[in-house]
Structure 1
Amino acid sequence: MFTHIMIGINDLERSRRFYDATFTALGGKPGEMDARGRLIYIHDGGRLMITTPIDGKPATAANGGMIGIAAASRDHVLAWHAAGTTHGGTAIESPPTERPNGDFVAYLRDPDGNKLSVRSHSTK
């Protein structure tokens, strides 16, 4: 259904440090800058784009919005959470935890306040 997700940010280099660290922790690669100055992360068929707003106004986080990212394992979720908090993210909700269905999940806000969740699916 989706071709990509785009997140508006205010400080490209600060966001690059955060997203490079968190996607590397999931086994992905650092973002690549396109000709229009957007960071692009491609991993497991998904595409996340990071950009300053085209209208020149400040970026704001979506109230009630969240982006869910798949992780291969519980260890990847923990590495993502650690990389994110080390690189300007804020831990929110609960500490990384197992859900009743066996999934392991963690939540962060990126340096601009965008809410992110990473989840590894149970093998139960």
Structure 2
Amino acid sequence: MFTHIMIGSNDLERSRRFYDATFHALGGKPGQMDARGRLIYLHNGGRLMITKPIDGHPATAANGGTIGILAASPAEVRAWHSEGTRHGGTAIETPPSERPDGSFVAYLRDPDDNKLSVRSLPTPGQ
């Protein structure tokens, strides 16, 4: 259904440090800057793009919006959360934890206040 998710940032280098660290924790690669000055992350078939707003106004986070990212395991979720808080993210909601459905979830706000969630799915048979 989706081709990509694009979010705004007021400081692309700060965003690069945060997202490089959190995607590395998930086994991903550093972001690449395209010819239009957008930071692009490709991971497990998804594309996250980060840009300064083209209208020249400050970037703001979506009120009520959450970007969900898939992790391979609870260990990756914990590593993502740890790297995110070490690189300018803010821990929100509950600490990384298992949900009643058996998934393992963590939440952060990135340095521009975008809400992120990483989830590992339950293993079959749970």
- TM-score w.r.t. length of structure 1: 0.99
**1:47 CA drift (Å):** 0.3
Q: Which runs of 4+ in 1 moved over 3 A?
A: none
One-letter amino acid of the counterpart of residue 111, structure 1: P
1:108 alignment partner, SS class: strand
Question: Size of the alignment, in residue pairs?
Answer: 124
Tell me the residue number matched to 2:94: 94
- TM-score w.r.t. length of structure 2: 0.98
**1:103 CA drift (Å):** 0.3
Runs of 5+ in structure 2 lacking a partner? none
Distance 2:72 2:122 in 1: 10
Distance 1:15 1:91 in 2: 16
Distance 1:45 1:12 in 2: 23
Aligned counterparts, 1:109-120, within 5 A: 109-120=109-120
Runs of 5+ in structure 1 lacking a partner? none
**1:84 CA drift (Å):** 0.2
1:119 alignment partner, SS class: strand
One-letter amino acid of the counterpart of residue 21, structure 1: A
Distance 2:89 2:64 in 1: 18
Tell me the residue number matched to 1:2: 2
% identity of equivalent residues: 81
One-letter amino acid of the counterpart of residue 71, structure 2: A
